[in-house]
Structure 1
């Protein structure tokens, strides 16, 4: 408050005026509203009419300002010791310094940064600006001290999580670096918690020295599982590639294993379609064309100019990789897409090879033929894909390949060979308990995708496992009554029932006479429409649960089966225990593949001498730190 109010009072009759204490004059406060009041008129009044009062006002104002300065100085002024401490750097054991070092270590692990970032001028200036008292540790301190400390923190958290898991599924693979003479063996784990939430973690990406024999891999498995105190009884399955050494190693280790579905599809496509002479010749010409643009910047510039002239999107041609069949699919797709631009280029400039009309037709038809495989590869490579997806996918894929389409002319032999390859590679999937039971407890599929002669066998497998996990009850299955349920898809007049597809003696669908343009999803729906729901007379509580569950309507394919079991585990407790075990299994080893993609960013050309132990700790932190946060 201004010192002038020592000489005035607010008028009780009208707040717009102030009354002088000396002469009792009413002085306007400067406006009609309180927001516009000021003290200028009051100061002028005492200056003009009361010089002594004005002098006293000036002295009081100076004294008030000085008290404010003294108070501010008293509250902000630091002692000599405090000033000195403020300029001193934190000791490395200071809590604040340790916290900052840990965050920098997390940054290095999560963002694939080298340890040398501690010596980079820009990063050091940024940290100094944010915290002047922090002394940046050395590169060696991060690699030898901070990394093991953070690894221990994350390790303890993962160890606690995995100790509570009942049934655990694993993936494994071997990777060799292209920039360093290093090979690494991976081990990832996943399981379902009591709320049917999928938990994934990376356990190892350790160096695999020497020859990759089955015996060496078995010894590595024994050490890894012993490190995490995981007994073989808790191992549900290990998903691995189709290599003989890996299959033999898991067998000798004494646990169940399944081949990676993506690898199996790779073998089927390469052996059944891409190896055909006319297709291989067309692909060879396509690779030569792509190689021309890949090694000539001038050719690339000319090709881009032609794309712009034709009002086409500017896109580069894609080179395939021999170990990824879908990269060959994308290569063919891009060649077909850029046919006009390539033809225009060949008219003006020289190419090392050109595709003739027959070869263009083959590439286009092969793109259409392999489209379901590409879609299926995407589906099974998702994080949510499980072993339950294998049987429905194989049944739908074989049915689609068995259909004869007018567009198959020119690749009909390749289509037949592809069908044979898929049937041979996936022979017996319906009899594999891990696949069969997982499919039955997936509420999107249940028993609808089994052949009629395999459905009873799969159901017996499920009942046996339910009894075993329920404590060995005496529930038994009676004779099949053969009655249809009230499933709306089975009613008369359903358009999906109008067309049946009888099977040949070899079990494959018989090709229809008319040409079709159908997708993989159409096959899923068609199989559902052809499968009746069978009701059975049962005795015993667990068997009753199974048949009640199987008799209910399927959930949509896009819905999550884990959410279904979270909501229905109270209704079907015996089945929920089976689902919690069997729905943990992935159908591919994609988790290990993705892990090695991350490893390739750690062991790269700039860090090709990093120690494998440090690389494993960095990957372990990168993949598992989000579980702790």
Structure 2
């Protein structure tokens, strides 16, 4: 029962002092049919929460050790006690094509938000988790997904039918959007879109830019270090001939980058409601070279929304009555609650 109480307090962001609640003790006495039951003391529950934190952190460390590529998101948050925190989350796709997303830290920051200071803060977090060499991208609150960006660009064009206030709003929105566009890593977004079987036809891009994306992917395949890749399953002769017939070139090397791209491009696109990771889990052996890239690019989140969720969670913990919590306890409680929710 003590372990269950510690789990409940950590999962639902309850203060440890709840174990001093006589009403809770009465409820448990009725539930356990034991009128003599007494709640554990705060020290005991705190110790169990710490043990739970250590156990969960060990599991996350093991997951990160097995990951080949890790994307992280980060953002800053100010608590009710006016303390500044940096929240960092990790995202990656494991060898079973399951997407993992969880908190790494919510760290108290005392320096100004200059680029050099922020870079050092991120580096200290990746070094603590031993993933510095695995980090592929760092997302902040300025990131946008490519398909959404193109849609917004078209939608926010002012028309003759728009009232004056709508025209003014769209002009301001377009200005802000253009500033965000300048900060985007377009090529990364384009490659990620092409490796998503839902959008690999690249209809969100002008025709003239689509060839450049596939050229970039071909170069990325060529740059892959020599490594053992999963064997490609032998496809039925009829399907194989159709794929080759639909390819852009009949003379390209079947096992080289051009052949890999031709086979992938010949695959039909899937519905937007289908899961791209499920598609790759069943087609990994058919496209071993591109699956390595897909695991890297599709594992990177489009925005820093995971950090915003982390701050919402932190706000449930660092309240006015708990504003005196130490930064170490804030980190433990926020991360532990996030990990337990992620497990569910």
Alignment TM-score, normalising by the size of structure 2:
0.84
Partner of 1:601: 316
1:194 paired with 2:103, answer no
Deviation at 1:158, TM superposition (A): 1.1
2:88 is paired with a residue whose SS is strand
Relative contact order, higher structure (CA 8 A, sep 6+) = 2
Q: SS of the residue aligned with 1:539?
A: coil
Which residue number in structure 1 is paired with residue 289 of structure 2? Answer: 574
Runs of 4+ in 1 over 6 A off after TM superposition: none
Distance 1:413 1:224 in 2: 43
Once the 2 structures are TM-superposed, how far is the Cα of residue 428 of structure 1 from its aligned partner? 8.1
Partner of 1:147: 49
How far apart in 2 are the matches of 1:410 and 1:620?
44
Q: Distance in 1 between matches of 2:294 and 2:251?
A: 21
SS at match of 1:623: helix
Q: CA deviation at 1:470?
A: 5.9
2:72 maps to: 170
Let me know the Cα RMSD of the aligned residues.
2.6
For the structure 1 residues 212 and 426, does the alpha-carbon distance in structure 2 shift closer, same or farther, using more than 3 Å as the test? closer
Q: Summarize the alignment of residues 303-452 of structure 1 with structure 2, pairs less than 5 Å apart.
A: 390-402=145-157, 404=159, 406-408=161-163, 411-427=166-182, 432-446=186-200, 447-452=202-207
Matching of residues 184-333 of structure 1 within 5 Å: 184-232=85-133, 234-241=134-141, 259-261=142-144
Shift of 1:102: 1.8
How many residues align? The count is 322
The question of whether the paired residues in 1 share the 8 Å contact of 2:73 and 2:89 is answered with yes
1:398-438 CA distances to partner (integer Å, 9 max, x unpaired)? 22333635245653354345445434432485x73311110
Residue in 2 that maps onto 1:539? 252
Residues 420-476 of structure 1, C-alpha deviations (whole Å, 9 max, x = no match): 5434432485x733111101101111132222332222111111112222639xxxx
134 and 220 in structure 1: CA distance in 2 versus 1, 3 angstrom threshold: farther
Mark the CA change 1:576 to 1:157 in structure 2 (over 3 Å): closer, same or farther: same
Larger Rg: 1 or 2? 1
Question: Per the alignment, in what secondary structure is the counterpart of residue 553 of structure 1?
Answer: coil
Query: Paired residue for 2:24?
Result: 123
Displacement of 1:626 after TM fit?
4.6
Deviation at 1:204, TM superposition (A): 0.4
Q: Give the match's secondary structure for 2:118.
A: helix
State how far apart, in whole Å, the 2-side matches of 1:163 and 1:213 are. 31
> Are the aligned partners of 1:470 and 1:574 in contact in 2 as well (CA < 8 Å)?
no
Structure 2 counterpart SS, 1:426: helix
**TM-superposition CA deviations, 1:518-541 (whole Å, max 9, x none):** xxxxxxxxxxxxxxx993456222
Which secondary structure state, in structure 2, belongs to the residue aligned with residue 106 of structure 1? helix
For residues 255-294 of structure 1, the C-alpha deviation after alignment (integer angstroms, 9 at most, x for no partner) is xxxx333xxxxxxxxxxxxxxxxxxxxxxxxxxxxxxxxx
Change (3 A) 1:428 1:122: closer
Name the structure 2 match of 1:362.
Answer: none
